[in-house]
Amino acid sequence: MNGTWDRRAFIKRVALGCAGMGGIATAGTLLVDAGRDAPLAATRSSQVRDFRAGLDLEEIARLVVSAAGEAAEATRAAIASLGGMGRFVRRGETVVIKPNVGWDRTPLQAANTNPAVVAALVALCVEAGAASVVVTDNSCNEAGRCFTRSGIWKAAEGAGAAVVLPAPHRFRAYDLGGVALGRMPVLTAAVEADRFINVPIAKHHGLSVFTGAMKNLYGVLGGRRDRLHQRIDDSIADLADFVRPTLTVMDATRVLVRNGPQGGDIGDTEEVGRVIASVDQVAVDAHACGLVHVARADLPYLRLAAARGLGAADPGRVSLREIS
């Protein structure tokens, strides 16, 4: 040591230093964020969820309006008239039932689907041999309270369904590929099943005038739903295009005729005592809007959906069957 220096040790250090710098440079190159130069993703590839696959539903293109007794009975009669749940749900399949559980309201206020209708459908799916039945919705108010106070949590679990509440980790981005809606977070539990039964309630709505089957599909979305109002008719048609339910069963036992979509007063509701079922969700809306005193002509989204071949905006084109 003392004043002398060791050439070999020096070379070793320089080599090590160079190797280190080289390593860092390589790692940096590999890890560099390419985002800056990457083209903006321009995906418009719709990931349509068609829950009719493998079923022959053409021949049952009709609309059943059931007034056969109380909610549960009327529901069962409506499904029986369509040929029984076995036509829609096969043994071993998984089913998601999507009622409207949007609001912290009790059943009499008719802002959410009647729990008896939901329970009856769950039971029918179980009887048809479904492997599992999930009841879910992305509520507008606090979800725990909506599911509890609507009576749907208790009724659905009692009938044998699993209730799945929305939570941030339960959403995944899907490309809706629509005119107004592109990539949006979707409640995975709502769209990951073999069969999808949409169970809306017929209601008045301040902006879209009527909220029924197609509007009920808002409940599968997460994220910034607050902007959908800016193009509400296109949004509704986009949703109906993205989710193609196996079956739509509309609760019109008690409907909300003003102050929708929340109501809040029994005085806002009218007793109608009907359950409407069809494989054609557009036809269901076209028929049901009359129950809350809204004219079909006032619903642009019916025309938009029909133009995309999603169903019949004129219920005269499907055979109507009334049961009492």
Partner 1 sequence: MARAGRTSWRGLRWARRVTQIASAALFLALIAATASLTGSGFDAATSATVPYPVEAFLDIDPFIGALVVLSTGAIPGALVFGGIVLALALLLGRAFCGWICPFGAMHHGISEAPPGRPAAARIAANRPRAYQKMKYVVLAVSLVAAICGSAIGGLLDPISLATRGVSLTVVPFVNYALGGALEAGAGSGVGALQGASDALYEATSGVAVYQRGFLVVGGVLVAIVFVAALVANRWIPRFFCRGVCPLGAMLGTAGRFGVLALVKDAEACDGCGQCQVHCSQAAGPKPGEAWLRAECDLCLNCVAACPKGAIRFGLAGRKTDEKSAPDVGRRQVIAGAALGAAIVPILRTGTLTSPIGRPDPACIRPPGAVDEEEFLARCVRCGQCMKICPNNALHPALDEAGIEGLWTPVLVPKVGYCEPTCTLCTQVCPTAAIRRVREDEKTGKNGAPMVRIGTAFFDQGRCLPWAMGVPCTVCEEFCPTSPKAITTRETEVVVEGRTAVLKVPFVDPRLCNGCGACEHVCPVRDRAAVRVTSAGETRSPRSQLLLGGGDPTAGRKHGS
Residues that bind partner 1 (CB under 8 A): 103-107, 140-142, 144-145, 147-151, 153-154, 157-158, 163, 165, 167-170, 205-207, 224, 226-227, 229-232, 258-259, 261-265, 267-268
Question: Could you give the CA distance from residue 261 to residue 209 in angstroms, rounded to a whole number?
Answer: 9
- Please, are residues 208 and 215 in contact by the beta-carbon 8 Å criterion? yes
Least separation in angstroms between CB 312 and partner 1:
27
User: 149 or 287: whose CB is closer to partner 1?
Assistant: 149
Q: Are 215 and 187 in contact (CB under 8 A)?
A: no
Helix (H, G, I), strand (E, B) or coil at 61: coil
The rounded distance, in Å, linking the Cα atoms of 112 and 100 is: 5
C-alpha span between 233 and 221 (Å, rounded): 16
| Two structure tokens written together for 20 | 């280190």
Q: Of 198, 222, 188, give the one whose Cα is nearest residue 288.
A: 198
Contacts of 43 (CB under 8 A, 6+ apart): 175, 182, 183
Nearer to partner 1, 73 or 234 (CB): 234
Shortest reach from residue 226's CB to partner 1, in Å = 4
Query: Residue 106: how many CB atoms within 10 A of its CB?
Result: 13
Question: What is the spatial distance between Cα 197 and Cα 254, in angstroms, rounded to a whole number?
Answer: 20
Residue closer to partner 1 by CB (options 85, 201) is 201
The least CB distance from residue 285 to partner 1, in Å, is 18
Q: How far is the CB of 299 from partner 1 (least distance, A)?
A: 15
Closer CB to partner 1, 238 or 280, in the complex: 238
Asked if residue 173 lies in contact with residue 186, where contact means CB atoms within 8 angstroms, the answer is yes
Q: How far is the CB of 37 from partner 1 (least distance, A)?
A: 26
Q: How far is the CB of 165 from partner 1 (least distance, A)?
A: 7
Q: Among residues 94 and 148, whose Cβ is nearest to partner 1?
A: 148
Q: Compare residues 273 and 300 and give the one whose CB is closer to partner 1.
A: 300
Name the DSSP letter for residue 132. E
| Both tokens assigned to 301 | 């989204």
| Shortest distance in whole angstroms from residue 123 CB to partner 1 | 16
Nearer to partner 1, 17 or 158 (CB): 158
CA dist 226 and 8 (Å) reads: 70
Spatial separation of the C-alpha atoms in residues 218 and 221, rounded to whole Å: 6
Residue type, 53: A
The distance of closest approach from Cβ of residue 4 to partner 1 in the complex, given in angstroms and rounded to an integer, is 50
- Angle (CA) 213-214-215 rounded to 5° is 95
**Which one, 79 or 292, has the nearer CB to partner 1?**
292
